[in-house]
Amino acid sequence: MLTEKKREFIQFMLSADVLRFGEFVTKSGRNTQYFVNTGMYRTGAQLSRLGEYYAAMVADTVGGEFDAMFGPAYKGIPLAAACASSLWREHGIDKPYFFNRKEVKDHGEGGSTVGYKPKDGDRVIIIEDVITAGTAVRESMSILKACGDITVPDIFISVDRCEVGQTPGKTAIMEVEEEFGAKVHPIVTVLDVYDYLKENGDPALCKAMEGYMDRYCILR
């Protein structure tokens, strides 16, 4: 259901040119009528607002019941930093964050991560942009497991595209949840985007979106 908060977030993505409508082809080769690129967030005001949306979702679902947050390089780095800042500023929850290097540093302090150093027993949440095929999540899990005996109970993303994954009848997010036991929390889903389009878009684009969802999406 498209709530006022979700509507506000979609409008925010549109204003930042992060969410676009038109004709696009995803990395997996699928034709889609919308595209999400969080790399387009580029001002302090945008990053501050984005952090507020993520932090509100974290506070509402898990509160402070975790030890650290992980932002996968590269797009997840500013997301985790903004979320950590807003969690403290808006909710009084002060938690560390960390991110990975694309190339392991072999001098200075060394290592493959920057920031908080996770330890055995830690509960780490992941702050991501979107999950399309689950490849990035699997890479993140591999990085985190190399850091120690930690658990990842929750993953937070901007948009759930609800696209079918590698297993018939299951979305990529369903696969990730089953494989790793982590609950994925999206701020909005493709249905929210579609409902917004119905309110504000043209009928032809809405019909094209319906065709895309019928072909590629599993709605739950």
Q: Which of 22, 69, 70 is nearest to 202 (CA)?
A: 22
Whether 95 is catalytic: no
DSSP category for residue 163: B
Whether 27 is catalytic: no
> Cα–chain-centroid distance for residue 75?
10
Q: Which residues of 117-148 are buried (b: 16+ CB within 10 A; e: fewer)?
A: ebeeebebbbbbbbbbbbebbeebbebbeebe
Choose, from 91, 95, 102, 107, the residue flagged as catalytic. 107
What dihedral angle (degrees, nearest 10) is formed by the CA atoms of 85, 128, 188, 67? Answer: -50
> Cα–Cα distance between 70 and 155 in angstroms, integer?
9
Choose, from 5, 105, 119, 145, the residue flagged as catalytic. 105
Residues tagged active-site: 105, 107
